[in-house]
Amino acid sequence: MTGLLLLLPKATIGIAALLALLLDSLSGGRARRRVVLAVVVLLSAGAVVAMVGIGRTGVFLEGALVVDRFSIFADIVLLVLGAVVALAALNGVGSDKDAGDFYTLFFLSLAGASVLASAGSLIMVFLAIELALIPTFALVAFRAEDRRSFEAALKYFLLSVFASAIMLFGFSLVYGAVGTVALPLPGDAASSGLLLAGIGLTLAGFGFKIAAFPFHQWLPDAFEVSHPEVAAFLAVGPKLAAIVALVRILEGLAAQNGAWTSAVAGIAVLSMVWGNLGAFRQRRLPRLLAYSAIAHAGYALVGLAGGGARGMDGAVVYFAAYSAAVVGAFLVVGILARGGIGDSLGDIVGLGRRRPLVAAALTVFMISMVGVPLFAGFWGKFSVFLGAVEGGVAWLAVVGVLNSAMSFGYYGNVIRLMYLEGGTDATPPRSAAGAPAGGVSAHGQTVVAGAEGWGIRVALGVAVAFTMLLGIVPGILFGALGVSAGL
C-alpha cells in the first residue's frame, strides 16, 4: 500500500498526459478548458499526496526507481509547477486547436522530469532525461508562425543530442571503472583516469541540461522565441530533476570528491559571472531572464561544489526556491504578450501605472531573485552558500554573494523602469487579436486588463504567494526536503 502511495504522484502526471490526448477530440473551447481544469485539480491533488509521503522511502523495479526525500521534494515542486503552467496556458496556447498536442507534450516532459528525479540507475537517468527533453524540442518549436521558433528548436535539438552523446559516453566510462550502473555508485572505487574522465563527461552532459556555462547557448534563443509558459517550465522542471539526478550520482563518488568539486566550482564561477554580465546587456525581458537563469544555475552549483550533504541539499533547494520567482516572471511576460504590451525593457516603462498589480508582482519576483531576505530566493542562496562555507570553499561563497550583489544592477533596473513615469506615453500597440478589452485609465493610456484571461492571473497569484510564503516560512521548503527530520 505504501508503495502505491509513493508512486501515486507520478501516476497523476501520466494520467494527465493521457487526458490531454483527449483534448483534440473535443470540440469547443469550453469543453477543453473543463478538461484542463480537471487536470489542474488532479495535479494539485497529486502534490498533496506527495506531501503525505514525506519521510517515507521506497524502491521499485529492482532499484531502477527510487522514491526518497529528494524525489518526493522534486515531485511536489514539479506537480505544483505543472498545475500552474497548465492553468496559465488555459487562455493562451492551451486554447487553440493544437491544445491537445501542447498539453500532451508538456505532461510527457513533466513525467520524464519526475522519473528522472527518482532514477535509481545510470540507464534510468539517461532514459528519463531523454523523456524529459525530447517533448521540449517540439514545445520550443510550438510557435509555428514564427520561423525563429523553429530555428531555436533545431539548435536546441542539435546541442542536446551532442550533450546526450557526451553524457552517455561518460556513463559508459563510469560503468567501465566501477562495474555497476546502480545508484548510489560504490564509494570505494579507485580513482582511475577512466573514472575521472567519465565524471568529467557526465558533468558536461548535466551542464547542458541545467544550462551552465559553457553549455548554455541554447537557452537564450529558446526562452526568447518559445511561449512564455514553455519557458517557465524549461527554466525549472528539467533543471530541478537534473540536479537531483546529478546529486544522486555524485553522492556515491565520495572518494573522488576533490576531483568533481573542483570541476563543479569551475563551471559555477563561470556560469555566475557570464550569466550576470550577459544579463546587463539584454533589451528583452525573456533574454534577461535567460541570462539570469545561467547565473542561477551557477549559484546552485556553488552548493554542489561544497561537496557535503548540506551543499547538496542546498543545490536542490536552490532550484525550488528560485522556481516561484522565475515562473512568475515568465507569466508576467505572457500577460504582457497577450495584452499586446510587448516584452522589451522599453515596453515595461510605466507599467507600474498601467498595470499596478502585474508590476508589483514582477517587483516581488525580481527582489526574490536578487536574494533579499524574507523572499523565497534568499533561502536558496542561504542554503548553497552555507554549504560552500561548510565544505571549505568559502571563496566560492564570496564570489556567489558578490555576483548576487551585482545582479541587483539589472533586476533593479527592471523595477526602476516599471515605476518610471511616462516614458512611452503612446498607447501600447494593439494585439493582433483585435481591440483590447478594458478601458482607458485616468492618464489616457489604454489599459488592456483582462485580455490575458483569468487562468494566468490566478497562476500569477499563486507564484506571488509562493515567493512570499516560502520567504517568510522557509520551514515549508526545508521541511519538504526532509532536512528537518535530520535525514
Nearer to another protein, 29 or 479 (CB): 479
Which residues 297-326 are close enough to bind another protein by CB under 8 A? 309-310, 313
Based on the shown chain and the rule CB under 8 A, indicate whether residue 420 belongs to the binding site for another protein: yes
**Of 278, 334, 428, 453, the one binding another protein by CB under 8 A:** 278
**Residue 144: exposure state from Cβ atoms within 10 A (0-12, 13-18, ≥19):** exposed
Q: Which of 115, 264 has the CB closer to another protein? A: 264
- Secondary structure class of 67 (helix, strand, coil): strand
Stretch that binds another protein, among 26-34, 58-66, 89-97, 384-392 (CB under 8 A): 384-392
- Give the nearest distance from C-beta 290 to another protein in angstroms: 11
Q: Tell me the C-alpha distance between 422 and 132, whole Å.
A: 44
Helix, strand, coil content of the chain in percent (nearest 5)? 75, 5, 25
What is the footprint of another protein within residues 96-155 (CB under 8 A)?
A: 151, 154-155
Which residue reads 554542489 in cell numbers? 304
- Taking CB under 8 A as the rule, does residue 191 contact another protein? yes
| 385 lines the binding site for another protein (CB under 8 A) | yes
Q: Is 383 in the site for another protein (CB under 8 A)?
A: yes
Q: How far is the CB of 233 from another protein (least distance, A)?
A: 22
For residue 356, state whether it binds another protein (rule: CB under 8 A): yes
The stretch among 27-35, 226-234, 332-340, 418-426 that binds another protein (CB under 8 A) is 418-426
Among 5, 35, 159, 437, binds another protein (CB under 8 A): 159
Q: Is 401 in the site for another protein (CB under 8 A)?
A: yes
Per residue in 393-429, is it b (16+ CB within 10 Å) or e — as a string?
beebbebbbebbebbbebbeebbebbbeeeebeeebe
How many CB atoms within 10 Å of residue 165?
12
Q: Are 305 and 396 in contact (CB under 8 A)?
A: yes
User: What's the closest the beta carbon of residue 284 comes to another protein, in angstroms?
Assistant: 13
Residue among 6, 47, 115, 163 that touches another protein (CB under 8 A):
163
All three cell numbers of 351, joined, read 507599467
Position among 106, 137, 274, 299 found at the interface with another protein (CB under 8 A):
274
The gap between the terminal CA atoms of the chain, to the nearest Å, is 23
Q: Which of 20, 30, 35 is nearest to 103 (CA)?
A: 20
- State which of residues 24, 98, 251, 390 lies at the interface with another protein (CB under 8 A): 390
Q: What radius of gyration do the chain's Cα atoms show?
A: 22
Binding pattern for the stretch 425-464 against another protein, x by CB under 8 A and - elsewhere: ----------------xx----x-----------------
Check residue 289 for interaction with another protein (CB under 8 A): no
- Contacting another protein (CB under 8 A), which of 72, 111, 122, 263? 263
**By C-beta, is 57 or 445 nearer to another protein?**
445
Question: Does the protein bind another protein through residue 70 (CB under 8 A)?
Answer: no
Cα 343 from Cα 335, distance rounded (Å): 10
Q: Among the candidate windows 39-47, 409-417, 425-433, 459-467, which touches another protein by CB under 8 A?
A: 409-417
Among 9-17, 27-35, 59-67, 251-259, the segment contacting another protein (CB under 8 A) = 251-259
Binding-site residue total for another protein (CB under 8 A)?
Answer: 79
Based on the shown chain and the rule CB under 8 A, indicate whether residue 398 belongs to the binding site for another protein.
yes
Instruction: Give the C-alpha separation, 274 to 255, whole Å.
Output: 31
With a CB cutoff of 8 Å and minimum separation 6, the contacts of 369 are 292, 296, 322, 325, 326, 329, 377, 407, 411
Given 31, 38, 61, 405, the residue binding another protein (CB under 8 A):
405
Return the number of the residue (42 or 245) whose C-beta is nearest another protein.
245
Q: How far is the CB of 32 from another protein (least distance, A)?
A: 31
Chain-centroid distance of CA 344 in Å reads 22
At residue 212, φ and ψ (nearest 5 deg) are -90, 155
**Cα 385–Cα 389–Cα 395 angle in degrees, nearest 5:** 85
Nearer to another protein, 262 or 427 (CB): 262
Name the 3-class secondary structure at 65: strand
CB of 399 to another protein, least distance (A): 10
Residue (of 332, 337, 361, 359) closest to 428 by Cα position: 337
Of residues 123 and 277, the one with the C-beta less far from another protein: 277
Q: How far is the CB of 418 from another protein (least distance, A)?
A: 10
Among 61, 158, 433, 435, binds another protein (CB under 8 A): 158
How many whole angstroms separate alpha carbon 469 and alpha carbon 484?
18
What are the DSSP calls for 359-410, one per residue?
HHHHHHHHHHHHT-TTSHHHHHHHHHHHHHHHTT-HHHHHHHHHHHHHHHHH
Q: Is 182 in the site for another protein (CB under 8 A)?
A: no
Matching residue, cell 552555507: 386
3 state SS of 121:
strand
Alpha-carbon distance 48 to 408, whole Å? Answer: 35
- Tell me if 251 contacts another protein by CB under 8 A: no
Among 174, 386, 448, 451, binds another protein (CB under 8 A): 386
**Strand, helix or coil for residue 42:** helix
